[in-house]
Structure 1
């Protein structure tokens, strides 16, 4: 096992975080990265990463999980990707006309995707999910969209209006979004019955960390959309390059009309993609007599760095099996932590669950209810022992030694957790508990 230096404190990180709060709303550019997602005074501000390890401003070294909000599958600073990026830097990054690189990237990306004829590249997931909805509305002439009750699809109004954190979204926009539960085909069918001829598309993740599709469910969704004239959109932001290569549609054998990709396809570089059937995608092109769709048009959508990174990531998946490595590491991690929880008598209060390549952990109070306070305690004790995590999402860069260290750290943290179950969690916390990232008000972690 590699030696783990003791965590020395978070003084510099806290100073930097306070300055960030002065200049950046929320102190971070992604709500999930906010300091309110970490124990008070223990929110590391990072300075570099390598593989599955990161260093903060105080010189602390951590084994990291979550890996850039699930965007890093090959590891931080993965050399073949960096080499590909360096190779294009001297040739310029952004031009007035398309580059040959755009063509080669499109060819590479579409090659393993039967049923996807065309692609548009962009920078983030919200770009492409919103473009998919616009395309579906134009194709069908309908306004309503049906979205699965899954965590996150977009920062745009059509999705944010369905969240608790929805200030600023017009009521009329909220009314155009319908929601349905996962793995309940009857509920989706009822939505179509209640809104005949009005639903433009169904957007969903084919599977999640916590839920696999029931037998026949995805096939039933596909058939419903075909029968009712709606466009089926799969969000492959998380599942793409993590469930399978290229994604969940390959694993489950169900083809959508449109697919939205991001995160792992660039191993942390900012690139996303919308793929789909030619009949739909050409509505944003020049081979149609129908009214044109403003599909995607961005200055940086096809800059050279991210497309070079994309092609290098695809090569890594062609030459190896990162998904198999992630699943092996994830199984070892889940087995180790769950065994420790059983040994120490804190199962099922703490449990590692989910797909091996996309694990989360649950934290419950003495009555078996999900608890933010106990979650904070678990995070606090792991941070003290050199593990930085909001989840246990692994990458192919996690080594067996990383997993062993994490299991040992978790075992020590669970000892404290067991004492808190008996004596009360407040006695062991150093500050206020974490809070849901997308809550309606800044309280209970409002800053003074």
Structure 2
């Protein structure tokens, strides 16, 4: 399998674009050296690179694609909508259609405003919370990987360069599934915390009994706005979001990823008393709330309406979970058969699977992770995870399990050797979120999702 055209185009990308891509997780340093495919097109669960290689793809556009690439009902709906124009001086009928669809789909939402990416709406939620409470501090779940590209969050990560210290000092952290850590933060900053923001669950962590309910109670006790980030859980956990599963209602919620099946759209929703702070029915100082040129353009809105219709007619989440269970069982059985079940493991919610890769000592290893990705690529499977879509067929699953069985033969050799040396071509992949371009921390200090601990 050749990657010569991809490698040539990747060099051009690095010359023209900082990092060689527009998303850190898509960068070439996240793939084996010389094996970073540049995609030409996709169909269903498969993609074609510029070298003519077809791959079964996982990750699905950073988890945004649940219906498959080029899903015709969505593409047709968008194509029909844009023929009548995409951006106007006044609101279009698509704003009303999308808002009505959204509020019917997510009953806990009383109002909604649309944007183009997740960072826009999470930052808007934080701004509303600060305005509503008159407080400055933001409490983030620091054991979850990502909330926004904006300073209030990025300043608290290993990539805080360029963020003033005064802004960094406004963000405090607590731990997931640890109510006492949140209680301690709220008590230590009594009357200063505007909001608590967290994901209700992640691919590898479900809420302990009473945790989300406890977060809700603490927020009410301290007068803090509760924000649930549903970027990933929304439409992957349930058609109504993770709130429909766990039964706890936030004050504000943020959505993105799967709303448009790859088309750009995100949403901020919440209780009317908070959302109206950015509207016309308030006596308070108004919040400048998501007043953007492209937030209401019809492409994303038409895509979302078509996606919502697909979820009404088909059990999309059920399909993803069924295929995900088959995939996880198949690969984990193959690992056991190869005698390396303690080293490679597919874990997580079936609709949002990741894989753990460990070395001969049982420690998480970026080098062994890279070796696994390398061998999967050679066998026709592309992915930094096993995040699936409803478009993955039984044949796609079988192809992936067969590819994993081939990869495990090489992986077993590396375990026996105690090293990937001689088997891994090039450097190990690096964590996407890191302070320095050349990692200065041990490359094994990462979670199973590739995030620095």
Pick the aligned partner of 1:98 from 91, 97, 117: 91
Cα distance in 2 for residues equivalent to 1:349 and 1:134: 44
The corresponding residue for 2:133 is 140
The corresponding residue for 1:171 is 165
Render the CA deviation track for 1:197-223: whole Å, top value 9, x for unaligned. Answer: 111000000011110000111011011
Contact 2:327 2:401 in 1 (8 A): yes
The corresponding residue for 2:65 is 72
Cα distance in 2 for residues equivalent to 1:373 and 1:216: 38
> How much has 1:444 moved relative to structure 2?
4.6
1:306 and 2:300 are equivalent in the alignment: yes
Cα distance in 2 for residues equivalent to 1:200 and 1:11: 51
The corresponding residue for 1:113 is 106
The corresponding residue for 1:5 is none
Aligned residues: 438
Cα distance in 1 for residues equivalent to 2:104 and 2:321: 24
Contact 2:195 2:225 in 1 (8 A): yes
The corresponding residue for 1:316 is 310
The corresponding residue for 1:3 is none
1:426 and 2:421 are equivalent in the alignment: yes
Cα distance in 1 for residues equivalent to 2:109 and 2:78: 27
Cα distance in 2 for residues equivalent to 1:126 and 1:176: 18
* Equivalences for residues 177-188 of structure 1 within 5 A: 177-188=171-182
The root-mean-square deviation of aligned C-alpha atoms, in Å, is 0.8
Cα distance in 2 for residues equivalent to 1:324 and 1:268: 20
Cα distance in 2 for residues equivalent to 1:52 and 1:311: 22
Cα distance in 2 for residues equivalent to 1:139 and 1:89: 38
The corresponding residue for 1:344 is 338
> How much has 1:90 moved relative to structure 2?
1.3
- Please give the TM-score of this superposition, normalised by the length of structure 1: 0.97
Cα distance in 2 for residues equivalent to 1:278 and 1:155: 26
Cα distance in 2 for residues equivalent to 1:237 and 1:89: 26
Cα distance in 1 for residues equivalent to 2:150 and 2:342: 37
Cα distance in 1 for residues equivalent to 2:108 and 2:261: 25
Cα distance in 1 for residues equivalent to 2:284 and 2:301: 31
Render the CA deviation track for 1:151-194: whole Å, top value 9, x for unaligned. Answer: 10000001101111111111111111011110001110111110
The corresponding residue for 1:4 is none
> How much has 1:348 moved relative to structure 2?
1.4
The corresponding residue for 1:357 is 351
Cα distance in 2 for residues equivalent to 1:271 and 1:261: 9
Cα distance in 2 for residues equivalent to 1:433 and 1:167: 25
- Please give the TM-score of this superposition, normalised by the length of structure 2: 0.96
> How much has 1:45 moved relative to structure 2?
0.2
Cα distance in 1 for residues equivalent to 2:98 and 2:105: 12
> How much has 1:114 moved relative to structure 2?
2.5
The corresponding residue for 2:437 is 442
Cα distance in 1 for residues equivalent to 2:284 and 2:180: 34
Pick the aligned partner of 1:251 from 245, 253, 259: 245
Cα distance in 2 for residues equivalent to 1:75 and 1:253: 29
SS in 2 for 1:425: coil
Structure 1 ranges of 4+ moved more than 6 A: none
